[in-house]
Structure 1
């Protein structure tokens, strides 16, 4: 019983400062004057967490629209498709570290996936307004690339 009381007091002490900080008072410090919180440290400061939302800016793309996109060997109108995007690797900082490409059908090896640095994919605006993703490489380079293995595949 004593442990439950202590736990309740500790939780109340932790919650109380948060609750009062969320309810502005006439004497509450402005955003510039207040102490930085954990949310501030990761860029999620009230009220931007939920109230502002996001509108896609020029050049931004939704991840679901990115999956399945064809990757081309060059910017040429008749360039060959060398693979398709099947997954993304997100770094701890939240940026895209690598793109997982299915290159198997291009190489005649079903199920062959490789990881490429996201920075080497070049978005190219085509005359019809569509964005084409280009990876300037050769079939030999794709064949020589090590296959991408998901963590659960390494355990076997």
Structure 2
């Protein structure tokens, strides 16, 4: 992960989102089958970070190298762009934690670590909590009656 810039982080996160959508269409294995994306996108996927393995749960530090939280989720806007990372602070094992949406552009990546300049645990806790939108689940498919 050494040498990745904020732009690389954004590109890889978007590529991971594209991969997730493409992979859900068919049971495909990265690197062995066509993913339904361009060759350039495929190369970015193979050389990039895995959101699950390399980003989610990773600590977030401030400029004083103090851990102020960890990345809990990545938010993808309806247009397909990565808009924010949800940073979880406080609590223990997810209990009583405070989740805050932070724009992706606010992150700085240094030596593979995620930094938020000027941030503190107290500042994150004072920020309004991120709430997921309430989207109705689709109805369960019903068996069709013969006509």
Match of 1:133 in 2: 114
1:80 offset after TM fit, Å?
1.1
Structure 1 residues 36-80: Cα deviation after superposition (integer angstroms, max 9, x where no partner): xxxxxxxxxxx8826857234798322112111110112x5xx11
Match of 2:58 in 1: 69
Match of 2:36 in 1: 49
Match of 1:20 in 2: none
Match of 1:22 in 2: none
- Output the TM-score relative to the length of structure 2: 0.54
- Output the TM-score relative to the length of structure 1: 0.52
Asked if the contact 1:83–1:105 (Cα under 8 Å) also holds between the matched residues in 2, the reply is no
4+ residue runs over 6 A deviation? none
1:138 offset after TM fit, Å?
2.5
Structure 1 residues 82-105: Cα deviation after superposition (integer angstroms, max 9, x where no partner): 111111110122221011011123
Structure 2 distance, partners of 1:120, 1:139, is 16
Alignment length (residue pairs): 97
2:52 is paired with a residue of what secondary structure?
helix
Cα distance, 1:55–1:110 mapped onto 2, change above 3 Å? same
Matched, 1:113 2:99: yes
Match of 1:60 in 2: 48
Q: CA RMSD in A?
A: 3.2
1:3-152 aligned at under 5 Å gives the runs 49=36, 52=39, 54-56=42-44, 60-65=48-53, 66-74=55-63, 79-105=65-91, 110-125=96-111, 131-136=112-117, 137-152=119-134
